[in-house]
C-alpha cells in the first residue's frame, strides 16, 4: 500500500542547537512496518513505514536522550507497534496509547508495564470518525487510576465546543500542537487568547509547542509566523509545555521538514537555558518518568 504523503527527510541536517543533557522528544510516532504491524482498516491515511530503529537513530543523531511515542490514528486502537517500540527502548521511551472503552484491566496493565502513560483523544475531523463524549469520559475514568493523562488533538475553531469536556476531565490533559491555532491571526487575538485562558484557568492542562511545520503559512525553514505563539506559551507556562519533532510527520503534503532544522527552531521559542531545561527535560521527565 503506497503512502498518501511525502516520505520523511532522508538525511536531516546536524542541528546547531545542542539540547540539554537528557532531552526528551515528547511527540513522535512509530508506523509499522506495515507487514509486521498492519495499519488499521478504518484509517484515514496510509503512512510511510517508520520503524522504531529509525526513530531511535534519529533521537541519537539530533542529540536527544528519550522519546515519547504517540499512537497515531493510522494504527487505530491497535497499540502493538507502539508497545513493541517501548519494550525495545531500554526504558528510554514512554508512550501514549489509543484505547477503546472496553479494554480490559489486564490489557491496561500490560500497556502500563510497556511504558504507556497516557491515552489520546483525537478530535481532528479529517483523521477520525466521531466518538461520543460519554465514551471518552468513560475511558478517562478507566485510565485515571493508573496515573495516566489524556492527550487531546483538535483545531482552534473547535475549542469553544470542546471546552466543557476538556475542563471536566479527571486527569492531567496535554494539548497537541498548541490547539492548532490559525497563525495568520494575531497572537493576542481572541482565538489564541481563549487557548491561553484554558491553560491559565486550569493548572492540570499542558500544551505541546510542537509542529511549526504544520501550522506555518510563511513556511520552512524558519516558520517565523509560529514563533510568537509557541514563545508566548513557553514564557507564560514554563512548567507545563512539551516539545517534540513529530517525526515522521504524517500527512505533510506541502513539504517535509528537516528534523535538524526543527531542533534549531527551539532556542527561538525557548530563548534561555532555564526555559530549554524545563521544556526539554524537567517537564517531560515529571510527566512520563516520575
- Residues near ligand 0GY (CB under 6 A) are 72-74, 122, 127, 153, 176, 214, 246, 250-251
CB of 122 to ligand 0GY, least distance (A): 6
Query: Which CB, 11 or 253, lies closer to ligand 0GY?
Result: 253
Active site includes 258? no
Q: Quick one: which of 198, 258, 192 has its CA closest to 230?
A: 192
Please give the DSSP secondary-structure letter assigned to residue 68: E
Contacts of 172 (CB under 8 A, 6+ apart): 149, 150, 204, 205, 206, 287
Query: Which CB, 43 or 268, lies closer to ligand 0GY?
Result: 43
With beta carbons less than 8 A apart as the criterion, state whether 263 and 15 touch.
yes
Query: Which CB, 74 or 99, lies closer to ligand 0GY?
Result: 74
Q: Tell me the torsion sign for CA atoms 234, 170, 152, 245.
A: positive
Exposed, middle or buried by CB within 10 Å (0-12, 13-18, 19+), for 209? buried
Please give the DSSP secondary-structure letter assigned to residue 130: -
Contacts of 209 (CB under 8 A, 6+ apart): 178, 229, 230, 233, 234, 241, 242, 243, 269, 279
In whole angstroms, give the CA distance from residue 194 to residue 206: 14
CB of 72 to ligand 0GY, least distance (A): 3
With beta carbons less than 8 A apart as the criterion, state whether 223 and 192 touch.
no
Query: Which CB, 22 or 122, lies closer to ligand 0GY?
Result: 122
CB atoms within 10 A of CB 155: 16
- Cell numbers that stand for 31 in this block: 508506523
Of 49, 176, 246, 259, which is the active-site residue?
246
In whole angstroms, give the CA distance from residue 142 to residue 1: 35
Query: Which CB, 22 or 162, lies closer to ligand 0GY?
Result: 162
Report the catalytic residues: 246
Amino acid at each position: 500500500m503506497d503512502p498518501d504523503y511525502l516520505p520523511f527527510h532522508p538525511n536531516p541536517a546536524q542541528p546547531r542547537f545542542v539540547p540539554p543533557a537528557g532531552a526528551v522528544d515528547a511527540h513522535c510516532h512509530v508506523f509499522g512496518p506495515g507487514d509486521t504491524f498492519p495499519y488499521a482498516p478504518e484509517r484515514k491515511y496510509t503512512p510511510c513505514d517508520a520503524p522504531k530503529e529509525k526513530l531511535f537513530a534519529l533521537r541519537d543523531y539530533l542529540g536527544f536522550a528519550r522519546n515519547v511515542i504517540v499512537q497515531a490514528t493510522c494504527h487505530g486502537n491497535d497499540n502493538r507497534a507502539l508497545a513493541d517500540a517501548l519494550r525495545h527502548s531500554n526504558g528510554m521511551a514512554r508512550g501514549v496509547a489509543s484505547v477503546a472503552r472496553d479494554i480490559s484491566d489486564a490489557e491496561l496493565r500490560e500497556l502500563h508495564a510497556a511504558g504507556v502513560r497516557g491515552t489520546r483523544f483525537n478530535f481532528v475531523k479529517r483523521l477520525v470518525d466521531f466518538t461520543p463524549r460519554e465514551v471518552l469520559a468513560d475511558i478517562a475514568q478507566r485510565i485515571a487510576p493508573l496515573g495516566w493523562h489524556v492527550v487531546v488533538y483538535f483545531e482552534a475553531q473547535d475549542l469553544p465546543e470542546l471546552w466543557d469536556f476538556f475542563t471536566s476531565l479527571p486527569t492531567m490533559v496535554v494539548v497537541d500542537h498548541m490547539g492548532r491555532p490559525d497563525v495568520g491571526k494575531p497572537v493576542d487575538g481572541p482565538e489564541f487568547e481563549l487557548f491561553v485562558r484554558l491553560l491559565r484557568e486550569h493548572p492540570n492542562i499542558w500544551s505541546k509547542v510542537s509542529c511549526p511545520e504544520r501550522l506555518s503559512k510563511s513556511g520552512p525553514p524558519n516558520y517565523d509566523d509560529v514563533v510568537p505563539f509557541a514563545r508566548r506559551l513557553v514564557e507564560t507556562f514554563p512548567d507545563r509545555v512539551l516539545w517534540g519533532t513529530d517525526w515522521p510527520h504524517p500527512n505533510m503534503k506541502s513539504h517535509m521538514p528537516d528534523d535538524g532544522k526543527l531542533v534549531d527552531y527551539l532556542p527561538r521559542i525557548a530563548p534561555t537555558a532555564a526555559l530549554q531545561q524545563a521544556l526539554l527535560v524537567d517537564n517531560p521527565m515529571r510527566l512520563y518518568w516520575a
